[in-house]
A and B are shown apart, each in its own frame.
Chain A
Amino acid sequence: MSIMSINIVYIIPELIIAFFALLILLLSVFIGKKFDIALAPISVFGIFISLVSVFVFNFYNKSSVFNNSFVVDNFSNFFRIFILTSSLIFIVFTFSYSKGSIYIKRHLGEFYFLILMVIIGAMLMSASCDLIMLFISLELVSIPSYILAGYEKMNEKSEEASLKYFILGVLATAILVYGFSLVYGATGEINLKEIARAIINRNLLENNYVLIIGVILSLVGFAFKIGAAPFHWWAPDTYEGAPTIITTLITTIVKIAAFAGLIRFLYVGISGFKNSIWIVLFLVLLSLLSVIIGNLMALPQKNFKRLMAYSSIAHAGYILIGFSSANTDAQFAIFIYLLAYIAMNLGAFSVAMLVEKTRHSEEIKAFAGIGYTNPFISICMIIFLISMVGLPPFAGFLGKLLVFKAGVENNLTWLVIIGVITSVISLWYYVNIIKHMYFVRYEGDSSLLKIKASKLSVFLITILAIFTISMVIIPSVFILVSRNAVVFF
Chain B
Amino acid sequence: MVITAKHILHSSFYLIASLLCVAMFFIMLRAEYLAAVQILVYIGSIVVLIIFALMLTRTKVGDETNISNNQKIFAAFTAMILFVCLTIVFFNINLEVKVESISKVSIVSVKQFAEVLFSAYTLPFEIASLLLLAALVGSVVLAMKEKTEENNDNKKFTK
B134 touches A117 (CB 8 A): yes
Secondary structure dominating the interface of B = helix
The CB with the most chain B CB atoms within 10 A, among A11, A113, A153, A162, is that of A153
Q: Does A143 contact B (CB under 8 A)?
A: yes
B148's closest neighbor in chain A, by CB?
Answer: A154
Q: Mark B67-82, 1 if CB is under 8 A from A, else 0.
A: 0000000000000000
Q: Which of A117, A133, A146, A209 contacts B130 (CB 8 A)?
A: A117
Q: Does B150 contact A (CB under 8 A)?
A: no
Q: Does B96 contact A (CB under 8 A)?
A: yes
A136 touches B124 (CB 8 A): yes
Q: Which of A107, A136, A146, A148 contacts B127 (CB 8 A)?
A: A136
Q: Does B102 contact A (CB under 8 A)?
A: no
A210 touches B127 (CB 8 A): no
Q: Which of B89, B122, B146 contacts A153 (CB 8 A)?
A: B146
Interface residues of B in 133-150 (CB under 8 A from A): 134-135, 137-142, 146, 148-149
Q: Does A240 contact B (CB under 8 A)?
A: no
A147 touches B96 (CB 8 A): no
Docked Cα-Cα span, A136 to B132, in Å, equals 11
Q: Mark A82-112, 1 if CB is under 8 A from B, else 0.
A: 0000000000000000000001001100100
Stretch at the interface among A63-71, A296-304, A480-488: A63-71
- Residues of chain B with a CB closer than 8 A to A153's CB: 142, 146
- Residues of chain B with a CB closer than 8 A to A460's CB: none
Docked Cα-Cα span, A139 to B130, in Å, equals 11
A140 touches B141 (CB 8 A): no
Docked Cα-Cα span, A146 to B137, in Å, equals 12
Interface residues of B in 104-148 (CB under 8 A from A): 119-124, 127-128, 130-131, 134-135, 137-142, 146, 148
Q: How many A-B residue pairs have CB under 8 A?
A: 85
Docked Cα-Cα span, A209 to B123, in Å, equals 32
- Residues of chain B with a CB closer than 8 A to A117's CB: 130, 134
Interface size class of A (residues with CB under 8 A): 35 or more
Docked Cα-Cα span, A57 to B86, in Å, equals 46
Q: Does B93 contact A (CB under 8 A)?
A: yes
Interface size class of B (residues with CB under 8 A): 20 to 34
B89 touches A188 (CB 8 A): no
- Residues of chain A with a CB closer than 8 A to B56's CB: none
- Residues of chain A with a CB closer than 8 A to B140's CB: 110
Q: Does A322 contact B (CB under 8 A)?
A: no
**How distant is B143 from chain A, measured CB to nearest CB, in Å?**
10
**How distant is A221 from chain B, measured CB to nearest CB, in Å?**
15
Q: Mark A199-212, 1 if CB is under 8 A from B, else 0.
A: 00010000011100
B137 touches A113 (CB 8 A): yes
Docked Cα-Cα span, A153 to B138, in Å, equals 12
The 9 closest A-B pairs by CB, nearest first: A147-B138, A67-B120, A66-B123, A117-B134, A110-B141, A107-B141, A132-B124, A144-B134, A210-B93
Q: A residues within 8 Å of B by Cβ?
A: 4, 11, 18, 25, 66-67, 69-70, 103, 106-107, 110, 113-114, 117, 120, 124, 132-133, 136-137, 139-140, 143-144, 146-148, 150-151, 153-154, 162, 185-186, 188, 202, 208-210, 213
With A144-B134, A146-B138 known, 19 other A-B pairs at CB within 8 A are A25-B137, A67-B120, A103-B146, A106-B146, A110-B140, A110-B141, A114-B137, A117-B130, A117-B134, A136-B127, A140-B131, A147-B134, A147-B141, A153-B146, A154-B146, A154-B148, A185-B95, A208-B93, A213-B89
